[in-house]
């Protein structure tokens, strides 16, 4: 157990940030899953900008890596282009 006040504060901050980041990462994963499960091209095209915006925001705030956001966006675009 930490003894310094600064260490105790760091533990509290880390716990709060972890919960915050976990929530947004999980929300992003669910949105990506929902888009990948979509079989209708029109619905997927409507959903894509929202998911793309979410990925860009999470990459900007370092919740996910910028290359991961780019790879996910690329994969989603490929999925949409395959839909008839």
Percent of the chain with pLDDT over 90: 95
Q: Where are the domains of the chain?
A: 39-84
pTM for the full predicted model = 0.84
Query: From CA 80, how far away is CA 73, in angstroms rounded?
Result: 11
pLDDT of 66 reads 96
pLDDT tens, 17-57? Answer: 999 999 999 999 999 999 999 999 999 999 999 999 999 99
pLDDT band of 84, cuts 50, 70, 90: confident
Residues in contact with 62: Cβ distance below 8 Å, sequence separation at least 6, in sequence order: none
pLDDT of 5 reads 94
Query: From CA 23, how far away is CA 61, in angstroms rounded?
Result: 14
Query: From CA 43, how far away is CA 33, in angstroms rounded?
Result: 14
Q: How many CB atoms lie within 10 A of CB 63?
A: 19
């Amino acid at each position: 157990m930490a003894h310094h006040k600064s260490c105790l504060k760091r533990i509290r901050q880390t716990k709060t940030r972890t919960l915050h980041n976990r929530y947004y990462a999980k929300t992003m994963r669910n949105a990506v899953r929902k888009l990948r499960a979509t079989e209708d091209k029109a619905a997927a095209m409507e959903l894509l900008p929202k998911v793309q915006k979410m990925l860009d925001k999470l990459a900007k705030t370092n919740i996910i890596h910028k290359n991961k956001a780019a790879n996910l966006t690329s994969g989603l675009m490929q999925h949409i282009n395959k839909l008839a």
